[in-house]
Structure 1
């Protein structure tokens, strides 16, 4: 499942290639990918075709394109085209005459445009999804509760799709508040990793980046949240932010061909992982300090947690 860095890589690609362009035509090859659009294929096609993309925004793992009337640009937008990648969803920018992908579900024809260097931009935006856990749908925009922009993007509109309104802000969002997060974290009375995975508390963090951030900060996943002091909270948020920024620089984490960015390239952050998936291998921090400690995998919430038993000792008052 793509986490925040992977979705942000896709958002940045879309922002470059799609923003300012009109969706001239819509072709739905598999209606199952529109199952979240409750009004059906015809309504989806009628709403999206002819609309102009004014921005591409992300909050956590939620990604959306703000749509406006192409004949009245600048008017207050009221809908967004949301894309849920699921486990295998891909948003690809292609030339219209490029061969169609085997698992192509939705095809959007974009108006002509040129890059900064005068090069013609590809005219197809394609949603490809092998396992069909993802999908596309149109969502109404509503005011954000805090009056801040809906998420990370160029737009400063205090609007967010209704389906994403319950999702907390993520650490890369300029409107994210460490102090507010700390107060809510202390009130959870649960284990630290479980809190990091709670999308209603902080969004965008999945199993991979939670393990990486906990290793970087030196916290055990079962550290009770009500024992976190403000400097501890800032330490884990700094670790989360650092790990995600490094993942972004590497194009995200790809373990197979299902996650790619908009030009079809895989991310390579997997080679820089310090904890996740490294069971039985030496802890690099311990090795740098002259210790020989092997990383351990432990069962956690029907999945796994990877940690260093020396750098991340289990607290006596551990919480699951």
Structure 2
């Protein structure tokens, strides 16, 4: 599943190509991709066709565009998107079909022709395709509400308004308005395993399995350490490690283990080459040389070093 760095790569790719553009047509090929849309396809088309895209923002793994009417007035709605497990937002060259999967990619690539579920046609002739092999992602509209803390709603947002559908999602660690000490205190009030808490999008958003393992390895903390066993200093250290590893991933386009995640140009990210823990079961820890282990904890794989990340009770 694309995590925060991968979704931010997509957002940055969308901004220069969509901002200021008007949606001229919504081409729906599979209605399952808009299953969260109140009122169905007719409502989606009514909200989008003729609307201009005035901002593209992100909180955690959620993306959205702000919408304006033909006179430039805000419509009070946003077009929300989530990539799910395998969603891709890909640009097709005007007048040409989407490109075939890259031969250089590894893994089960989404086919940009067969798995194209919805396309937005823009007034410059470009076509933005939502490609999703597994259909866990989607697009839908949502009314705007005020962020609870009154700060800028998200990365890329012009004000404190955000879609109602994302109002329950916590701020992420790349958000300038994120309060790391408060998030650390929230971690410390829970008895759940620290990795479970990092994956809880209502505590801190955007962190998935990959970056949770990497952050915990960097902070020398085992995945099953209870939140209540953390000191404030240790909890802050974990959050700062998570932010640092995601910033490094962002610099190289995110993490691609297979071709299910690519950017808007169909290119993969390269951070998988720099991972210290995730996916390295049986390989030596780069810090101490002990062989890394993988366990299944609460239905998810966790990768850790048994020497650097000792059990805490």
Q: Do Structure 1 and Structure 2 share a fold, with TM-score over 0.5?
A: yes
* 2:143 match: 140
Match of 2:309 in 1: 312
String of CA shifts for 1:46-71, please: whole Å, max 9, x gaps. Answer: 11011111111111111111111132
Matched, 1:273 2:275: yes
Runs of at least 5 residues in structure 1 that lack an aligned partner in the other structure: 113-121, 287-291
Structure 2 counterpart of 1:241, from 211, 226, 243: 243
Question: In the alignment, what sits opposite 2:173?
Answer: 171
TM-score by length of 1: 0.90
Does structure 1 conserve the Cα–Cα contact (< 8 Å) formed by 2:294 and 2:303?
Answer: yes
Q: Distance in 1 between matches of 2:97 and 2:203?
A: 42
Following superposition, the deviation at residue 110 of structure 1 comes to: 1.1
Secondary structure in 2 matching 1:180? helix
TM-score, length-scaled by structure 2: 0.92
Aligned-residue Cα RMSD (Å) equals 1.3
Work out the number of aligned pairs and report it: 299
Q: Please tell me whether the aligned partners of residues 92 and 264 of structure 1 are also in contact (alpha carbons under 8 angstroms).
A: yes
2:152 matched to which residue of 1?
A: 149
- Please state how far the C-alpha of 1:185 moved relative to its aligned partner: 1.5
The answer (yes or no) to whether the contact 2:67–2:74 under 8 Å persists in 1 is no
Q: Which residue of 1 aligns with 2:229?
A: 227
What is the aligned partner in structure 1 of residue 63 from structure 2? 63
Of 119, 129, 144, the match for 2:132: 129
Structure 1 runs (4+) deviating above 3 angstroms are none
Structure 2 partner of 1:202: 204
1:118 paired residue number = none
| Unaligned residue ranges in structure 2 (runs of 5+) | 99-112
Q: Is the 8 A contact 1:151 1:173 kept in 2?
A: yes
Q: Distance in 2 between matches of 1:104 and 1:244?
A: 29
Q: What pairs with 1:73-222 in structure 2 (closer than 5 Å)?
A: 73=72, 75-100=73-98, 101-112=113-124, 123-153=126-156, 155-222=157-224
Q: Which moved more, 1:300-309 or 1:96-105?
A: 96-105
Find the aligned partners of 2:145 and 2:236 in 1 and give their Cα distance.
31
Distance in 2, Cα, partners of 1:189 & 1:76: 44
